[in-house]
């Protein structure tokens, strides 16, 4: 991945290159911003720039001996096999202290291909407490030529002592044009409805937009908009919604639909008369609750879509019997 392929972060690249051209570049960087903005991709490309040596052939970033990558490991042996087969897999909740210590053992040796080494931690805000304390020691006494790139979605979850040792590089949501360009690059050939829905659902984050587009939920988004605009007195649109999501959608598809429903409401909040705000707020809060519960409970997909449709319809036509 090269800087030219990372759309919408010109300011971040300008700041990074200005720092690189200085005589004393800071050894630790905290890449902050909403999840899905492309911070990990930036870290990967920035690390490749750091470790490159003139005249020395460089292997791909994911196999580079001087780029160490710490992220959450697969949750089980089954998930290890899925990862190795290129399939979606579940991960552990945190980056463990054993991973950090294994990285630190690597740091006592010299870089392999040049004078510099990069350590990427994605994401640093999921470090275990013991992991964070162990990392702090490396940040306090960094080995010569070692640079740390901490991808951070929620800076408040990091130890203040870690934050204080990092140079902050902020990432901002992309505008619609840049987000559309990122979509066209990541998921070419989208139909107009799905592309427009992905831009809306992405809310400035290309990762979220691409993930939504890959679920092919443009029709789901369209039906949700119709329910909010016109109601669904005969439940016909709710039936269409269940059909559009499919008979056995996986959890990612269900979560994408829930996100779409919440953002359909957000999208109309600025255009409705004040008497409708209580209904909007209640429906949005209920969808947030469903989003928290869906990863835990094994909801029937058809019933989940009916519930989502009922909540959306309540905004257009007032409270509906049976909506929790």
Segments making up each domain of the chain, as ranges = 3-170, 215-317
Query: Which residue has better confidence, 181 or 318?
Result: 181
pLDDT at 272: 62
With bands split at pLDDT 50, 70 and 90, how would you rate the model's confidence at 3? very low
pLDDT for 40 beyond 70: yes
CA angle 84, 251, 76 (to 5 degrees): 35
Region 63-68: what's the mean pLDDT?
94
Whether 28 and 165 have beta carbons less than 8 Å apart is answered as: yes
With bands split at pLDDT 50, 70 and 90, how would you rate the model's confidence at 321? very low
pLDDT for 27 beyond 80: yes
| Least confident window among 62-71, 78-87, 274-283 | 274-283
pLDDT for 323 beyond 70: no
With bands split at pLDDT 50, 70 and 90, how would you rate the model's confidence at 274? low
Residues 6+ apart with CB under 8 A from 92: 72, 73, 74, 75
Whether 179 and 209 have beta carbons less than 8 Å apart is answered as: yes
Chain CA centroid to CA 200, Å: 15
Question: How many Å apart are CA 233 and CA 314, to the nearest integer?
Answer: 10
- DSSP 8-state symbol, 150: E
The dotted CATH code for 3-170 is 3.40.50.300
Query: Would you call 121 helix, strand, or coil by DSSP?
Result: strand
Whether 62 and 159 have beta carbons less than 8 Å apart is answered as: no
Sign of CA dihedral 312, 316, 322, 324: positive
Edge-first strand order for the sheet with 117-122 is: 67-71, 117-122, 146-152, 28-32, 167-170
pLDDT at 131: 95
Region 238-267: what's the mean pLDDT?
89
Q: Which helix (H) or strand (E) holds 265?
A: helix 251-268
pLDDT at 295: 75
With bands split at pLDDT 50, 70 and 90, how would you rate the model's confidence at 316? confident
pLDDT at 322: 39
Residues 6+ apart with CB under 8 A from 131: 94, 95, 96, 97, 99, 100
User: Could you read off the pLDDT of 135-194 as tens digits, one per residue?
Assistant: 999 999 999 999 999 999 999 999 999 999 999 999 999 999 999 999 998 899 999 999
Tokens for 17?
């290159």
Tokens for 125?
């805000």
pLDDT at 317: 53
Whether 219 and 244 have beta carbons less than 8 Å apart is answered as: yes
Global pTM reads: 0.82
pLDDT at 1: 47
């Amino acid at each position: 991945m090269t800087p030219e392929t990372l759309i919408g972060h010109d300011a971040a690249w300008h700041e990074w290159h200005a720092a690189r051209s200085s005589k004393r570049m800071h050894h630790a960087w905290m890449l902050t911003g909403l999840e899905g903005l492309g911070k990990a991709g930036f870290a990967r490309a920035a690390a490749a720039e750091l470790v490159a040596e003139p005249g020395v052939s460089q292997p791909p970033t994911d196999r580079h001996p001087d780029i160490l990558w710490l992220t959450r490991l697969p949750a089980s042996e089954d998930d290890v096999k899925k990862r190795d087969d290129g399939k979606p897999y579940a991960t552990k909740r945190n980056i463990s202290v054993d991973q950090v210590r294994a990285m630190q053992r690597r740091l006592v040796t010299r870089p392999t291909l040049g004078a510099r080494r990069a350590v990427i931690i994605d994401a640093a805000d999921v470090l275990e407490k013991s992991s964070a304390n162990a990392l702090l020691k490396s940040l306090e006494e960094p080995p010569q030529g070692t640079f740390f790139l901490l991808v951070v979605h929620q800076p408040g979850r990091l130890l203040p002592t870690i934050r204080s040792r990092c140079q902050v590089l902020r990432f901002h949501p992309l505008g619609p044009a840049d987000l559309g360009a990122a979509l066209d690059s990541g998921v070419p050939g989208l139909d107009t409805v799905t592309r427009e829905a992905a831009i809306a659902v992405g809310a400035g984050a290309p990762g979220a937009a691409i993930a939504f587009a890959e679920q092919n939920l443009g029709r789901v988004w369209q039906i949700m908009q119709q329910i909010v605009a016109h109601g669904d007195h005969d439940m016909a649109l709710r039936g269409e919604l269940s059909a559009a999501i499919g008979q056995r959608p996986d959890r990612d598809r269900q979560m994408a639909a829930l996100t779409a429903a919440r953002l359909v409401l957000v999208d109309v909040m600025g255009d409705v008369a004040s008497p409708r705000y209580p209904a909007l707020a209640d429906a949005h809060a209920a969808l947030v609750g469903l989003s928290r519960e869906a990863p835990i409970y094994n909801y029937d997909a058809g019933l989940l879509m009916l519930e989502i449709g009922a909540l959306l319809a309540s905004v257009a036509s007032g409270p509906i019997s049976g909506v929790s």
